[in-house]
Amino acid sequence: MIEAHGLTKRYGPKLAVDDVTFTVQPGVVTGFLGPNGAGKSTTMRMIMGLDRPTAGNVTVNGSSYPQHGRPLAEVGALLEAKAAHPGRTARQHLLALAATHGIAPSRVDEVIELTGLSAVARKRVGGFSLGMGQRLGIAVALLGDPRTLILDEPVNGLDPEGVLWVRNLARFLAGEGRTVFLSSHLMSEVALTADHVIVIGRGRILADMPVQQLVDGASRRLVRVRSPQAADLADALRREGGDVAPGDDGAFEVTGLDAARVGELAAAGGAVLHELTPVSSTLEEAYLELTADSVEYQAEALDDAGRATGAETGATTDGAPR
Amino acid sequence: MTATAPAREAAPAVVVHRVTFGRVLRGEWIKFRTLRSTVWTVVITAVVMVGLALMMAAIVRTMVDTPEMAEGMSQDPGLQAIGLTGTTIVSFGYSFGALAVGVLATLIVTSEYSTGTVRSTFAAVPRRLPVLWAKLVVIVLTTAVVVAVALVIAFVSTAPLLEDAGMSVDLSDPEQVRALVGCVLYLATVAAFALAVGTLMRHSAGAIFTIVAIFFVVPLIFSIVVQASDAAWTDWVNKLLPSVAGERIISRGAETDALLDPWVGYAVLVGYTVVLLVAAAITLKRRDA
């Protein structure tokens, strides 16, 4: 179990993590979702005692991480793919870490086999691919058979088989009653692996809910309708239990009724339809909507001519007001 | 690699012990001996120290046959300052040794930062300070053992040459013994000093530059300044420089007002080292890794 209370981290003028409070429960996989630069890694580093919080505190299994007598048995963490000296072999790196907890070399060989590194265990880490580095990081995390696992972007650099393996491993470990906290910037990844999700953007918690709830909210369908008799039609739709919200340029968006029903009601009421478009928002769209204001490095949208729309709009406003 | 979930229920429970200083020390020793660069640096240091001793011994041996050369050397002020004896010849490579162990001690901590290993290290030992003390024990003991071995080999291998030159090391002379033991102490202390600087600076290039500047460049500049200037403060700064003060324990030269007594000088170097280690410990504990 991980409990963070008012956790804050400031780097100079920049607030990387802003008064974050959450609990990660054992027995389930908790996803930590957010765009790059949202504060995921910083939060995880504070849990591990690597970064000192500016304010607030965080405990793992009841006490702050450095206070545990057998840290590797409490938390296993994968924080960066390359956290080993390139001149050492994978096995030597694991042996050195195992020695600090009196963990037997047989356990080192066990995690090497478990993470599929047997063939390269005696090769130097410098020659490892990103995926192999990631597997070594996971091997380090598993070394002390920890009650809590913290995995920062664990599937980065892994091939599809490796991605599947990490998902299965995370679910298996949670199934054993362990706490599994894994971060990703991909909604789809979290949806596939996690049971619970904490969404972070610009250092703030945007959502903390079961994944199913986020998915249900995301996959609500809406129908875009355009009609000269908009007001009458809207009333008719509302009477049938639809939810009507004004959309862009005269269209309105209906939720709670499907396109066929909207068409039938329009026909029954004699309303002319200029447009009837079913729109289904994807999981990624819901996530983008949730984090839209909190993306650290936002790409400017481009129009057809490839110019930044922001500049285009500005020119229009200056030259010929609409 | 297994695509399915690992079958770990069958495996016996993993035995994980508490972190103790002894276990951290074992981990640091594994790290130290598993890097080829460290092992090579240690071996080359010993080889060069023995080689330099043999070279100097061969030179003084030739002096016996060539009186002109002997006369030239006896009038060389630099050699007089060193006080050329059997001990100085045996420990002649200490300066090179200081450079090698200084760089090595710096790297065993800065390379953890440059490679990201430090995150793994501190995840395993989140209290951090045992890591610093374990590194200190590893580098100081390794340096002491390697330098002692190099000196013994140098002593044995130069003995016939020095005997011919009439400059045999006299182990019944406490000053000569002090100089040889002092060589071990000096290099071990330089290693501790460099470890502290590496911990404080964390960047390899900057830390190595600092060590080279403190132990080799600044003393060189001051050796010139002291000659050129009459100001008393330059004498004081010069004799309090870490290398100038610390090296007194190896020197066999005449005692002068311009330099500290051997043990006092060494104590000054130890003092700097302790202060730097305390500063390193405080910042290591406080800073984000």
* Highest CATH level, class, for A2-210: alpha beta
Q: Which of chain B's residues have a Cβ under 8 Å away from the Cβ of A98?
A: 27
> Are A17 and A296 spatial neighbours (Cβ–Cβ below 8 Å)?
no
Nearest to A260 by CA among A283, A286, A243, A237: A237
Q: What would the mean pLDDT of A5-23 be, rounded to a whole number? A: 94
Q: Give the number of beta-carbon pairs within 8 Å between A and B.
A: 141
Nearest to A73 by CA among B289, B121, B15, B12: B15
Q: Which residue in chain B is spatially nearest to A47 when comparing CA positions?
A: B123
- Residue B136: both structure tokens together: 């200190």
Q: Looking at the complex, report in whole angstroms how far the Cα of residue B5 sits from the nearest Cα belonging to chain A.
A: 5
Say yes or no for a CB contact (<8 Å) between B119 and A70: no
> Are A20 and A204 spatial neighbours (Cβ–Cβ below 8 Å)?
yes
Separation in Å, CA B182 to CA B41, B87, B88, B174, B260: 22, 11, 11, 12, 15
Q: A136: which DSSP letter?
A: H
Q: Does B216 touch chain A (CB under 8 A)?
A: no
In degrees rounded to 5, what are phi and psi of residue A90?
A: -60, -40
> Are A297 and A201 spatial neighbours (Cβ–Cβ below 8 Å)?
no
Best of A70, A101, A165 to substitute, by most chain B Cβ atoms within 10 angstroms, is A101
Q: Where are the domains of chain B?
A: 21-286
Sheet holding A196-201, edge to edge: A75-78, A148-152, A179-184, A29-33, A196-201, A204-210
Say yes or no for a CB contact (<8 Å) between B30 and A92: yes
Neighbours of B175 (CB within 10 A): 14
Q: Which residue in chain A is spatially nearest to B27 when comparing CA positions?
A: A96
Instruction: State yes or no: pLDDT of A6 exceeds 60.
Output: yes
Task: Round the CA-based radius of gyration of chain A to a whole number and report it.
Answer: 25
The complex's ipTM works out to 0.88
pLDDT for B53 equals 94
Separation in Å, CA B217 to CA A317, B163, B243, B253: 65, 36, 10, 22
A275-280/A252-255 β-pairing: unpaired
Nearest to B192 by CA among B280, B289, B112, B264: B280
Q: Which of chain B's residues have a Cβ under 8 Å away from the Cβ of A89?
A: 34
Instruction: State yes or no: pLDDT of A68 exceeds 50.
Output: yes
Residue A307 pLDDT class (50, 70, 90 cuts): very low
Q: What is the pLDDT of residues A172-182, one digit of tens each?
A: 999 999 999 99
Please report which helix (H) or strand (E) contains residue B215, including its range.
none
Token pair 């409490």 is found at A74
Say which residue, A157 or B150, is predicted with more confidence: B150
Largest CA distance in chain A: 81
Q: Does B126 touch chain A (CB under 8 A)?
A: yes
Nearest to B38 by CA among B129, B149, B138, B118: B138
Residue A191 pLDDT class (50, 70, 90 cuts): confident
Instruction: State yes or no: pLDDT of A232 exceeds 80.
Output: yes
Instruction: State yes or no: pLDDT of A291 exceeds 80.
Output: no
Separation in Å, CA A97 to CA B2, B105, B129, B146, B285: 24, 20, 16, 26, 20
Residue A277 pLDDT class (50, 70, 90 cuts): confident
Q: Which of chain A's residues have a Cβ under 8 Å away from the Cβ of B2?
A: 114, 116, 165
Taking the C-alpha atoms of residue B248 and residue B95, their distance in angstroms, rounded to an integer, is 13
Share of chain A above pLDDT 70, in %: 86
pLDDT for A62 equals 93
pLDDT for B6 equals 47
Taking the C-alpha atoms of residue B112 and residue B201, their distance in angstroms, rounded to an integer, is 12
pLDDT for A294 equals 60
pLDDT for A149 equals 97
pTM: 0.84
pLDDT for B61 equals 86
Taking the C-alpha atoms of residue B26 and residue A101, their distance in angstroms, rounded to an integer, is 10
Q: Which residue in chain B is spatially nearest to A135 when comparing CA positions?
A: B1
pLDDT for A157 equals 84
Q: Where are the domains of chain A?
A: 2-210, 221-280
> Are B249 and B179 spatial neighbours (Cβ–Cβ below 8 Å)?
yes
> Are A290 and A307 spatial neighbours (Cβ–Cβ below 8 Å)?
no
Q: Which residue in chain B is spatially nearest to A50 when comparing CA positions?
A: B289
Q: What would the mean pLDDT of A16-43 be, rounded to a whole number? A: 93
Residue B97: CB partners within 8 Å, gap ≥ 6? Answer: B45, B48, B49, B147, B150, B183, B187
Instruction: State yes or no: pLDDT of A283 exceeds 80.
Output: no
Amino acid at B73: M
Q: Which residue in chain A is spatially nearest to B26 when comparing CA positions?
A: A99
- Residue B172: both structure tokens together: 């019944």
**Residues of chain B below pLDDT 70:** 1-12, 70, 73-83, 252-255
Strands (E), A158-317: 179-184, 196-201, 204-210, 221-226, 243-246, 252-255, 275-280
Instruction: State yes or no: pLDDT of A293 exceeds 90.
Output: no
Instruction: State yes or no: pLDDT of A318 exceeds 80.
Output: no
pLDDT for B73 equals 66
Q: A306: which DSSP letter?
A: S
Best of B120, B121, B285 to substitute, by most chain A Cβ atoms within 10 angstroms, is B120
Token pair 């470890």 is found at B195
Q: Does B39 touch chain A (CB under 8 A)?
A: no
Instruction: State yes or no: pLDDT of A225 exceeds 80.
Output: yes
Residue A29 pLDDT class (50, 70, 90 cuts): very high
Nearest to B42 by CA among B111, B90, B93, B101: B101
**For residue A118, how far is the Cα from the chain centroid?**
31
Residues written for chain A: 322
pLDDT for A305 equals 45
Taking the C-alpha atoms of residue A151 and residue A137, their distance in angstroms, rounded to an integer, is 9
Taking the C-alpha atoms of residue A186 and residue A189, their distance in angstroms, rounded to an integer, is 5
Tell whether domain A221-280 is in CATH 3.30.1360.
no
Nearest to A20 by CA among A32, A28, A9: A9
